[in-house]
Structure 1
Amino acid sequence: MYDKYKKHLEETLQAIKDAGTYKRERLITSKQSSAITVDQNGKEIHALNFCANNYLGLADDQRLIDAAEKMMARRGFGMSSVRFICGTQDVHLELEKAISRYFGTEDTILYAACFDANGGLFGSLLTDEDAIISDQLNHASIIDGVRLCKAKRYRYLNGDMADLEEKLKEAQAQRFRIIATDGVFSMDGNVAPLDKICELAEKYDAMVMVDESHSAGVVGKTGRGVTEQYGVRGKVEIITGTLGKAFGGAVGGFTTGKKEIIELLRQTSRPYLFSNSLPPSLVGAGIETFRILEESTELHDRLMDNVAYFQEKIKKLGFDLLPTQSAIVAVMIYDAAKAAEFAARMQEEGIFVTGFSYPVVPKDKARIRVQLSAAHTHEQIDRCIAAFDKIGHDLGILK
């Protein structure tokens, strides 16, 4: 059998390569930071990293490294168990409380990843009597979580409140309703209009779930996400998020919100019940992350300054940008082939960015996605801008 299946796999892989969507991994030989060392065909090169989710620059922060080492010495390397058997330590509860304080919620449950948090959410809370109304650009983890649930599915146009209202009207036929949205949509960098979503939820008797993975630590006056940005802290029933982006860049996810929801997830959420607990080192670093963020908004303020600085410079060059209130800036190239060539040429200039084209983004909407970090200096941003200027003119995008 495998000989036939192997041929099928080879043909499938070749089709992915022919479509230009084959993913080649970059081999980093240094710590993750704004400046990294990469192995390229056996040769080490130095590059500036503008394509990581390291929004607050904490991925190589010595305070987190020290906290992880200390916690590993105190509580061991791994838990070797799921939470409800013998995998819960006091520090797991401490981290959950820190996350709840940060978001202004009642309780929190930890997962191995936000993919698990989203995957184990809807099926635990809803049945075929209920409904989920999901933004069309939601992350794959939300989409998969919805697929694992028997609830009636509705999809509304990205950020389109008129379309959301129509779907909510249709969903009145169901018992309970949850509106599901990303806080920041990772391909465009736009922020969900959560104030309007909450107004519609109240009008049509629905709950709200928001994934803060790309918005937590970034959006809002102090970086506490879209609930802070739109003044709805405590009004959103469910928030999911990750420790793998702004909060240290490692792994680990969470769901935080109403205490009864969290309690039921502890009893029924399959990724929680059947996955090992987060290791003590990650928990220790997570606790330190929230301690740092509670003490000061310095990292968030620096990030926002870098975003404004980059946007001002790139706009002056003449590039089109999608509107953003986040640390994600989509520089529009439009043509897929040029976007791929642009990203490759940027790497030759020692700047790591990622080009996206169809089917990841709509046809004729190819772009270079730039992700800013608090770790970037203005000098590093200037080098990135200079590369955009040079390649933009070389490829005829800038006149």
Structure 2
Amino acid sequence: MANFEYLAEELNQLKQDGRYRELSVWGSGCGTWMELGGRKVLQLSSNNYLGLTSHPDMKRAAIDAIDKYGVGSGSVRTITGTLNVHDRLERELAAFKGTEAALVFQSGYAANLGVLSSILTSDDVVISDELNHASIIDGIRLSKTNRKIYAHKDLDQLEQRLKESANYRTRVIVTDGVFSMDGDIAPLPQIVELCEKYDAIVYVDDAHASGVLGKNGKGSTDHFGLNGRVHIQIGTLSKAVGAVGGYVACEQVLKQFLVHKARSFLFSTALPPAVAATCISAIHVLQASSDRIERLWNNTAFFRGELKKMGFDTGVSETPIIPIIVGQPAKTMQFSDALLAEGIFAQGIVYPTVANDKGRVRLIITAAHTDEDLKFALDRLEKVGKAFGLI
């Protein structure tokens, strides 16, 4: 029998620090009210921004695809895994994003790992915002490239890093479009200007901007009117799109290179055809109407405004990601548990995901939340916030 005592010791330390958390096992599909432990709770931690996980058009597309193709793709994309539904999805994504091409991965995480690890070598340098997502950090680590970090959204330091990196073959500036823990938006216009000044590549991970920012949810590049000036756009199919998967929208030459070099693409079975069909349907839903996005932003503005009136610390949030800063890990998790007792699921986020003294419950508002849902949440948050001395 393996000796895993060292793992048990580390788990015990997590428990002592107040950072241990069991997986929540849900008894219903993703929605605003979900079943947990035999009771209904209001979901405020889902990435289902537009409520598309149960859209009837998307469900029908999935069912039709299963009838036509079966439940799996059967192979990696480079053997027999590329079905015409995958090809169509990539063409529609490229048209939606306004790029020459798009390549779909099994997740946004896999997309960042595959792209960064394959396009960068020891002749290059990547310059990354200090608060970029873990998948970006891991992709950079796998690349064996030279790396520099700049302080969060610090354009002066970014320019200094660019000046320091003049001798490298290629310089790639990497930033989240929307930062996942604080909900703030990258200063993309200024980043693009610096990259054009110093002849660097702009790489944006739009996981939390896809379906949220830009016309019909096209992302941060469209939001700022920078179409054609951002070289690499990473998107997700797992959040606002309501399904699962990730993609890169880019030039055709980069797509063809990644098909041959990106290991997370080469060695993973293709997405189930039902998922690809669902995502195509989602693109059509987004293009047909902006009503869901408008509702999302109206809900967000109302909810964040009410939290601020109460006196909660919501940090620098500008988007439907609204953190309530609590502080130390143990108190953060206790606050999360107290909210659950009141019928609200709001997941605690603690170190090492955020700084040790910056633990927070990360609330995510969606277009599917009704006025009654939001008022219910605000009433319970006020009650528990007062009990914890947060307001």
TM bucket by the smaller chain?
over 0.9
One of 349, 364, 386 as aligned partner of 1:371: 364
Q: Which amino acid aligns with 1:235?
A: R
> Is 1:210 matched with 2:208?
no
Q: Which consecutive residues of structure 1, in runs of 5 or more, have no partner in the other structure?
A: none
Separation in 1, partners of 2:59, 2:246: 19
Shift in Å at residue 335 of structure 1? Answer: 4.2
Kindly indicate whether the alpha-carbon contact (under 8 Å) linking 1:219 and 1:325 is maintained by their aligned counterparts in 2.
no
Aligned match for 1:345, one of 338, 341, 345: 338
Q: CA deviation at 1:123?
A: 2.6
Number of residue pairs matched?
A: 391
The 1:24–1:291 alpha-carbon spacing in structure 2 relative to 1, beyond 3 Å, is: same
The CA deviation at 1:364 is 2.4
Shift of 1:339: 2.1
Compute the displacement of 1:341 (Å).
1.7
What is the one-letter code of the residue matched to 1:311?
R
User: What secondary structure sits across from 1:234 in the alignment?
Assistant: coil
Check conservation: 2:19, 2:330, Cα contact below 8 A: no
Q: Residue 304 of structure 2 corresponds to which residue in structure 1?
A: 311
Matched, 1:74 2:85: no
State the distance in 1 between where 2:344 and 2:331 align: 17
In the alignment, structure 2 segments of 5+ residues that lack a partner are none
Q: Distance in 2 between matches of 1:7 and 1:315?
A: 46
Pair 1:336–1:20, CA change in 2 (3 A): closer
Distance 1:356 1:120 in 2: 27
Q: 1:16-55 alignment to 2 at 5 Å?
A: 16-39=14-37, 44-55=38-49
State the alpha-carbon separation in 2 of the partners of residues 46 and 373 from structure 1: 18
**What secondary structure sits across from 1:158 in the alignment?**
coil
Map 1:80-91 → 2, pairs under 5 A = 80-91=74-85
Match of 1:131 among 114, 125, 150: 125
Kindly indicate whether residue 115 of structure 2 is the aligned counterpart of residue 117 of structure 1.
no
Matching of residues 239-258 of structure 1 within 5 Å? 239-248=233-242, 250-258=243-251
d(CA) in 2 for partners of 1:276, 1:335? 41
Residue identity in the other structure for 1:215: A
Residue 6 of structure 2 aligns with which residue?
8
Residue number in structure 2 paired with 1:153 = 147
Distance 1:28 1:122 in 2: 34
- Please list the CA deviations of residues 131-184 of structure 1 after superposition, one character each: whole Å capped at 9, or x if unmatched: 111111111111111011122111111111111111111111211111011111
SS in 1 for 2:88: helix
Counterpart of 2:160, as a letter, is: E
Identity of aligned pairs, percent?
39
Of 318, 332, 336 in structure 2, the residue corresponding to residue 325 of structure 1 is 318
Q: 1:276 aligns with which of 269, 272, 276?
A: 269
2:289 is aligned to: 296
Separation (CA, whole Å) in 1 of partners of 2:241 and 2:215: 17
C-alpha separation in 2, matches of 1:162 and 1:189: 22
Within 2, Cα distance between the matches of 1:221 and 1:316?
Answer: 30
1:102 paired with 2:96, answer yes
Does the aligned pair in 1 maintain the 2:42–2:343 contact within 8 Å? yes
Q: Which amino acid aligns with 1:186?
A: S
Aligned-partner Cα distance in 2 for 1:188–1:386? 23
Deviation at 1:288, TM superposition (A): 0.4
Please tell me the root mean square deviation across aligned C-alpha atoms, in Å.
1.3
Equivalent-residue separation in structure 2 for 1:30 and 1:7 (angstroms): 36
Q: CA deviation at 1:306?
A: 0.7
CA distance in structure 2 between the aligned counterparts of 1:315 and 1:397, rounded to whole angstroms: 12
TM-score, reference length from structure 2: 0.97
* Local SS of the residue matching 1:192: coil
Q: CA deviation at 1:11?
A: 1.2
> Which of these residues, 191, 201, 207, is aligned with residue 197 of structure 1?
191
CA offset at residue 221 of structure 1?
A: 4.5
Which secondary structure does the structure 2 equivalent of 1:232 belong to?
coil
Partner of 1:394: 387
